[in-house]
Structure 1
Amino acid sequence: MRFILKMAWRDSRASRRRLVLASFSIVLGIASLVAIGSFNANLREAIDAQARTLLGADLRVQGRAAFSPEILAELEAMGGQQAREIALSTMIVFPTAENRTRLATLRALEGGYPFYGDFETVPADAPAKLAAGGKVAVLEETLMAQFGVAVGDPIRLGDEEFTVVGALRQIPGDSVMVAMLSPRVFIPYDELEGAGLLGPGSLARHRRYVVFDDGSDPLAVERRMREAYPDEHLGYETVEERKRELGNALRNVYSFLSLVGFVALFLGAIGVASAIHVHIRQKIPTVAVLRCLGASSRTAFGVYLVQGLALGLIGSVVGAAVGVGVQLALPRLVADMLPVEVDFGIIWPVVFKGAGAGLLICGLFSLLPLLAVRRVSPLVAIRAAVAEAAANRDPWRWVVYGGIVAIVAGFALRQAPRWQVGVGFIVALAVSFLVLGLLGRVVAWAARRFTPKRAPYVWRQGIANLHRPNNRTVLLLLALGLGTFLIVTLALTRATLLAQIAGAGGSDRPNLLFFDIQDDQIDPLREILVREDAPMLADAPIVTMRVSQVRGTPVGEILRDRDNNVADWTLRREYRSTFRDHLNERTERITAGEWVSAVEYDGSGVVPISLEQGVAEQMNVALGDEIEWDVQGLSILTRVASLREVEWRRMEPNFFVVFPAGVLEPAPKFYVAATRVGDPAHSARVQEAIVAALPNVSAIDLQLVLETLDGIFEKVQFVIQFMALFTVATGVIVLVGTMMSGRLQRLREVVLLRTLGATGRQLWQIQLVEYAVLGLLSALVGCGLAVVANGLLAHFVFETVGVASPVTLVVAVITVSAITLLTGLMSNRGVTNHPPLEVLRAEG
């Protein structure tokens, strides 16, 4: 072993710079694994440490209607500290901003909530003023900035005017991302009723927050109440549940980023293997001499195995250090997306785990070229072809291949949130490598067979470089194509998600939706819309109801059966259903059964209804099954007569349940309506007119929703692309390392061409052609794979049609081609500047 270590050190003298550069190929892959792993560990510690501030209480009980006397008595019996809240969506009017309006989440509070964490406002005494009561309000800080509102300014909510006493910065349980989608405004609990926003049909959520002074277990209390009041349709949330939900949501992002980091590591390992391959080919004569001097094949193999492991160790240590540095930046990048503050701390097990993974992967990939050393015979000193033939017959190559496949598959399955995702990742990675590797071989073959004979010399020579001995065509296409594939897939997925939402905004589709319209307000609303040049395009009556029985079995009994294959939410929720005698041809189509338009209903008998096919699957019902509904105290027995596919993306009134005409007309109801406006100014004018005449009516502006979601997507995409860029950077490093490792071969070619009379300009143009072809092909194939991946994600995950933005694809092609050209030319800088005699002397 002592001889092996000394020989490995001495033998590396002439090529240390090149080998160290090769070790940097795995640095960014390890750095991404360490950074993401450390951040995830720090995040989990922060969630555990700040667990109670995630909810602000020990238990939250929520209902869509005011709590029944039985529930109120149960809550009062719990004791401890309690707070009440009613939350609903409504329109805010800003008198100081020319009566502009904005949809917001109104939260009316009473009590000491939040009991854990800080209610942060400017000025700091705003929560105290809110608790003291009166017509005061605390507004989202971003909302005040958007409309130029200052402390002391008035706002109007419904029929009442409130004075702003503070700007909200943070409240437990919500992140800035939540506020972007729906800005919050807080008022005293007792002032809500006077605002006239709690009429029939209002989408209010009644909440009670509880802090137990006697040490009661919130989960046990929740289970007891669920069993005791199954028909109350209440929602419960505890700190542990909030932690679990947040952890599951973040695990998907963590898993994705870890997989992206592993791809970078995998790609870097290929670069290390390429460098080792070139290094070993140059050292074959040295190995043959060692064998002639009596060294065994095991000793010779050990010398170069030590060198390969040293490369992995250097890359792992540097990568772990870089990863720790990157982790310093991650909390700042995602601070707005998290409901907890994350402090940086080095998690040594994660660091060692990432470095160990890098060393293992690097070692496995280094074994492939190192196997050739085992078969080097002393005869190779005079006949070099013997080594290549022996290496190709080595059965251990398949063992190493199996080890690489097992490591990749095991990591993917372990990191993925579900095994199906892991398998999908493995298949996608395998297909990408297969396509890019096959493309490299096809390009080399085509360059040999179909080079135009009449093309200029520099073109013919540049294309010939794609199939010359020791070319790096396959490796370069893999490195750049895979990086392009990942980055472009992310960009296209974002475009697809936005287009899915924007699909409701076509030239003939509504883009402004009104809800909470009372029965006697629909006609005045229609008149206002006509007067404002925005005629009503769609409207629908809504009747609230709940499921009481399915196939004769009470809901409470079904919910107690844990093996019922029914999604609980389908039985607990309050349905807002409609009735009509026609299908909405723009958003609905029958997939099974027969549509029934109208019936004569006298209060008895079975009513045929139409269910949305997704909710039918979740409820585990089929055509012909009977469902009994509690329609505000009246029981109606129905039969599933048809199933519908609904286009939920269209900004029109769509429903899970549609009754035929002739049944629900006498029931208490409210309406939703939709119109189309031409521009933001028209939208603001229409909303102002509606709020002035009908203050309880709220509006959703699709364009505003799009802008908000686009801002959220941009932040999430930035974080993901920040890590995915590690793959592209790794590809560039692999590209540089590959060019540097092939510099000796390129030097000899240049010497020969210069000897035959080629000018420096011609040699530069030859390289330009070669790298231009490689960069263009890498970009085109990477973009093609991204388009396919985006299409599959859109179809199977987002259930929509993939969007391939031409601008994104063109920018990607130009950028990757430019990176390839620049990197290739820089890595070979100076090769063409020396006269042939100088280079030949340098070569000995």
Structure 2
Amino acid sequence: MQSDSLSMKKRPFFLRWAWREIRQGQLWLVTLALSLIIACVFALSALVSRVEGIIVSQGRSALAADMVLKSSQAVDLQKLSTNKVTTSQQTRFGTMAFSDNGMQLVSVKAVDAKFPLRGDLRLQASDQSMHHHVNPGELWLSERLFSLLDVKVGDTLMLGDGELTISGRILEDPELSFNPFSQMPAVLINNQDIAAIGGIQEGSRISYRYYFSGSDSDLADIRETMKLTPSQRWLTENDAGRSGDFIERARQYLSLTLVLVVLMASATLVLTCQHYASTRITSVAMMKSLGASRRFLWRWLLQQIAVVFSVAIGVGLLLGFGLEWLLRYPLQQLLPDELPTIGFAPLVISLLLALFISLPALGIPLSRLVNASAMNTVQATQTPTSKFSAIWLLLIFPVFAAVWWIGSNIFVWLTLLGMVALLVLLALVGLAAIALLQKIKLGSAYALALSRVNRSKAKTATQLAALTCSLMLLAVIGLLRNELLADWKNTLPADAPNVFAINIAPEQQQAYLAYLDENKLERSEGYPVTRGRLVAINEERFYSNEENSSEEQKADSDSENSRSRDESLRRELNFTWAKTLPTHNEVIVGKWGSSSGVSVESGVAKRLNIALGDKLAFTVGGLEFNATVNSIRDVEWRNMKPNFYFIFTPDVLQSFPATWLVSFRVNDQQSDLLNTLASNYPTVSVLDLRMMATRIQALLAQVSWSLTVLAGLGVLSGLLLIMTLLRLSISERQTEIQLYRTLGASRKRIAATLWFEYGIIALLAGIIAAIGAEFVVGLLVVKGFELPFTLHPFMWLGLPVLAIGLVYLVSRSQIKKLLLPLR
């Protein structure tokens, strides 16, 4: 009973002591570092969770479902559907539409009444009422067809072999595609009306799409049970069309930003914990000299840490909620009304990461503190350390957390590995630079500062590495954000083409282009187009027509050559020829020739193992011909410009019949020009992509703003952490400054010495960080995001200036405080 009573009396004492330690500044830096880790991880992971949810939602809305099966053959949907998954079906085919005043080739999308499963289908009837699904007997036309066919709502339109009454116009279709050849003027009907119009005939080119909506686990089960044929593939928000590229890059950048911010906070926590342990050595030694046991010391320290954690959790979560709200506030106009929920994941992740990081950060220095000798009350001595101590096993926790959290994110691992390799190099460069600076004579204060730096090389290296890494991480976050946004801006600039004209007859080509030039429309070059197939590479033939080849042939083909499954071999492609290659294509291998040659797009060349000098065989209209690869081009498929897998020299293809293609841009005030073109050239198909381009621009704007805000938070967090590091470093100089004053040094001399010392460290950190950031960003951009890399000369000046500016801001107040008691 007496022991329990004594324990109860000790507990408030320990708590009061711990609170006094925080209040008086001994533990506030540790508390601040932990609070920053919890706040930043919570805010960033919460916003990343929301933004990823929005990105996924946008991507799935563009699919009209959570997952889509695209097939050239009908599939028994009942075998795939379950009670937990909602399904829908669409059949696509082309046919002619006839009115009393015209005719037009249209793309028919026959859907059921449940379409779409995601996104918004907006259909406007004659009474201005809005509909969102297609019912049997209804016919909905895209806006342009009303002028092309000279019809109005309520008229009868002959579609194929049947007649349907026009129900209204299509204002918005959620499905999104970057392929202009799939954007024929569209009509929507119900699946039940396919038979009435005779849409499916023997030999018809039919495309089927099966839509699924449900939980990720249920969708994964469906994918596992479905064995795909070469003519089938799954579409998700990541690989549907070209939009999946920037969606995936955005997701990777969000994760990378979060990891880098945690790294900066963790470095600060480690240094603050070491600082706290070093300031408590005298207190621990005094306790030991008075008979305190190691058990008592551990209880004393752990109760202080428990109070620190409690305060840090409260402050960190409060700041985290506030930061997450502040991050969302600028995006209110871009974010949907109903935001995705964040769940408990950000809370769990922030607390677990703080715990795993703090275990070695606090455990290792506190262990050394408890083992400090009682002789430290008389004379400072080094704490004996063995070659191996079980306490170092605590490092397993952050390592395990990193492996579990980062997973297979190649961008983050590239960054971390690059940093580890650079740390050694940076240390050597920093020491070499300091040695060179000793040869410069700038007075006694400068010499004293360099002497101080050289005398405490370990501490100087720690300060230099911490400041350098923080600056480097800030630069990496900002530069990667700029690289991604620049890539997206170049991909789909504001003046990108938004109309394609295809099937221009050769005799119409000159007049058509002249009309565009007369009306001052920005246009591309005219491209002749013919359709054909790639059938062989270096006399190795492919069985691309599954319907006409036996199962044995297909099995042999697949076993001998896995590339025969590539989509480019399973369908007809658009070929063109030209004297010169398009200016928006970059030749990366080889050189464009003038005869018997073909230039190959880099993606298909990589997938099919096509190299320079390979002999390729093609067929057009049943006629086979050969061409030799003379160059490989890098093509940006998302820029909505005419692009081709294969471009031939004129002598190879110009003898084949072809139609012409051109892209151009019209604004909202030039819509009448499209109607005039359709009237003057009724056989030319004009593909109006303005609605699609607007939706893509909106999606890009939303993701761009999200990345900007996240990068801003990362930079702000990094700046706060750098300033904390500088304050911590300068505050450690109190004893040394008192010694200088005792020896007669003036306040002016001491201040100048400190300015020189930290100015030199800041200058070196800024320069070395610029070198490291260029290396890491180059590695990530080229190997990770697969983008071209350019140097960033503004950073070479910006980082040193930023580092010196931060040192000035922090040192100005801190140095005054250090010198104040000595007046």
SS at match of 1:114: coil
Mark the CA change 1:453 to 1:225 in structure 2 (over 3 Å): closer, same or farther.
closer
Q: Do residues 362 (structure 1) and 351 (structure 2) align?
A: no
Mark the CA change 1:324 to 1:243 in structure 2 (over 3 Å): closer, same or farther.
farther
CA distance in 2, matches of 1:756, 1:401: 43
Q: Which residue of 1 aligns with 2:268?
A: 271
Q: Which residue of 2 aligns with 1:395?
A: 387
Alpha-carbon shift at residue 806 of structure 1 (Å): 4.3
CA distance in 2, matches of 1:121, 1:620: 45
SS at match of 1:544: strand
CA distance in 2, matches of 1:499, 1:684: 30
CA distance in 1, matches of 2:420, 2:302: 27
Code of the residue aligned with 1:540 in structure 2: it is Y
Q: Which residue of 2 aligns with 1:198?
A: none
Code of the residue aligned with 1:715 in structure 2: it is W
Q: Do residues 822 (structure 1) and 817 (structure 2) align?
A: no
More deviation, 497-506/650-659: 497-506
Mark the CA change 1:749 to 1:412 in structure 2 (over 3 Å): closer, same or farther.
same
Q: Do residues 492 (structure 1) and 479 (structure 2) align?
A: yes
CA distance in 2, matches of 1:519, 1:245: 29
Q: Which residue of 1 aligns with 2:567?
A: 569
Q: Which residue of 2 aligns with 1:782?
A: 769
Q: Which residue of 2 aligns with 1:602?
A: none
Q: Do residues 127 (structure 1) and 127 (structure 2) align?
A: no
CA distance in 2, matches of 1:771, 1:155: 71
On the 8 A contact 1:691/1:697 being kept in 2, the answer is yes
Code of the residue aligned with 2:512 in structure 1: it is L
Deviation readout 1:472-495 (Å, 9 max, x if unpaired)? 644544444333323322433344
Mark the CA change 1:333 to 1:413 in structure 2 (over 3 Å): closer, same or farther.
farther
On the 8 A contact 1:55/1:242 being kept in 2, the answer is no
Q: Which residue of 1 aligns with 2:201?
A: none
CA distance in 2, matches of 1:300, 1:218: 54
More deviation, 786-795/128-137: 128-137
CA distance in 2, matches of 1:286, 1:8: 14
Code of the residue aligned with 1:265 in structure 2: it is V
Mark the CA change 1:623 to 1:356 in structure 2 (over 3 Å): closer, same or farther.
closer
CA distance in 1, matches of 2:66, 2:623: 39
Q: Which residue of 1 aligns with 2:421?
A: 431
- Describe how 1:203-602 pairs up with structure 2 within 5 A: 227=229, 233=231, 237=235, 256-296=253-293, 300=297, 303-304=300-301, 307=304, 311=308, 314-328=311-325, 341-347=338-344, 350-384=346-380, 386-387=381-382, 390-391=384-385, 394-396=386-388, 404=395, 406-407=396-397, 409-416=399-406, 418=408, 420-421=410-411, 423-435=413-425, 437-438=427-428, 441=431, 449-450=438-439, 452-454=441-443, 457=445, 466=453, 473-497=460-484, 516=502, 518-520=504-506, 521-528=508-515, 538-547=525-534, 551-555=540-544, 556=546, 565-566=562-563, 568-579=566-577, 591=589, 597-598=595-596
SS at match of 1:383: coil
SS at match of 1:387: coil
Identical-residue share of aligned pairs (%)? 16
Code of the residue aligned with 1:126 in structure 2: it is M
Alpha-carbon shift at residue 364 of structure 1 (Å): 0.4
Mark the CA change 1:262 to 1:307 in structure 2 (over 3 Å): closer, same or farther.
farther
Q: Which residue of 2 aligns with 1:16?
A: 22
CA distance in 1, matches of 2:236, 2:248: 20
Q: Do residues 648 (structure 1) and 645 (structure 2) align?
A: no
SS at match of 1:426: helix
Code of the residue aligned with 1:31 in structure 2: it is A
Deviation readout 1:397-450 (Å, 9 max, x if unpaired)? 7x766754x555544443346364454233123135445555665566666x34
Unaligned runs of 5+ in 2: 82-86, 96-105, 154-166, 190-204
CA distance in 2, matches of 1:465, 1:543: 76
CA distance in 2, matches of 1:53, 1:705: 11
Alpha-carbon shift at residue 541 of structure 1 (Å): 1.8
CA distance in 2, matches of 1:737, 1:49: 44
Aligned residues: CA RMSD: 6.1
TM-score, scaled relative to structure 2: 0.69
Deviation readout 1:546-586 (Å, 9 max, x if unpaired)? 45677345234698788764363333454212245777799
Alpha-carbon shift at residue 812 of structure 1 (Å): 5.1
Q: Which residue of 1 aligns with 2:658?
A: 669
CA distance in 2, matches of 1:271, 1:742: 15
Mark the CA change 1:47 to 1:73 in structure 2 (over 3 Å): closer, same or farther.
closer
On the 8 A contact 1:116/1:172 being kept in 2, the answer is no
CA distance in 1, matches of 2:225, 2:587: 41
Q: Do residues 116 (structure 1) and 117 (structure 2) align?
A: yes
Mark the CA change 1:469 to 1:489 in structure 2 (over 3 Å): closer, same or farther.
closer
Q: Which residue of 1 aligns with 2:39?
A: 31
CA distance in 1, matches of 2:275, 2:34: 17
Alpha-carbon shift at residue 15 of structure 1 (Å): 3.8
Mark the CA change 1:298 to 1:205 in structure 2 (over 3 Å): closer, same or farther.
farther
On the 8 A contact 2:139/2:168 being kept in 1, the answer is no
Deviation readout 1:128-172 (Å, 9 max, x if unpaired)? 79989789767xxxxxxxxxxxxxxx998767698999996x876
On the 8 A contact 1:309/1:359 being kept in 2, the answer is no
Mark the CA change 1:806 to 1:565 in structure 2 (over 3 Å): closer, same or farther.
same
Equivalent pairs counted in the alignment come to: 744
TM-score, scaled relative to structure 1: 0.68
SS at match of 2:705: helix
Q: Which residue of 2 aligns with 1:199?
A: none
More deviation, 468-477/791-800: 468-477
CA distance in 1, matches of 2:414, 2:223: 41
CA distance in 2, matches of 1:799, 1:259: 16
Alpha-carbon shift at residue 382 of structure 1 (Å): 3.1
Deviation readout 1:644-668 (Å, 9 max, x if unpaired)? 3214259886532245555644545
Alpha-carbon shift at residue 542 of structure 1 (Å): 1.8
CA distance in 1, matches of 2:79, 2:268: 68
CA distance in 2, matches of 1:222, 1:543: 38
Unaligned runs of 5+ in 1: 89-104, 139-153, 191-203, 599-607, 837-844
CA distance in 1, matches of 2:53, 2:496: 46
Q: Which residue of 2 aligns with 1:728?
A: 718
Code of the residue aligned with 1:429 in structure 2: it is M
Residue of 604, 617, 630 corresponding to 1:615? 604
CA distance in 1, matches of 2:48, 2:489: 33
Q: Which residue of 2 aligns with 1:745?
A: 735
Deviation readout 1:576-609 (Å, 9 max, x if unpaired)? 12245777799575957997824xxxxxxxxx86
CA distance in 1, matches of 2:174, 2:326: 24
On the 8 A contact 1:543/1:577 being kept in 2, the answer is yes
Alpha-carbon shift at residue 728 of structure 1 (Å): 0.8
CA distance in 2, matches of 1:514, 1:44: 33
On the 8 A contact 1:500/1:649 being kept in 2, the answer is no
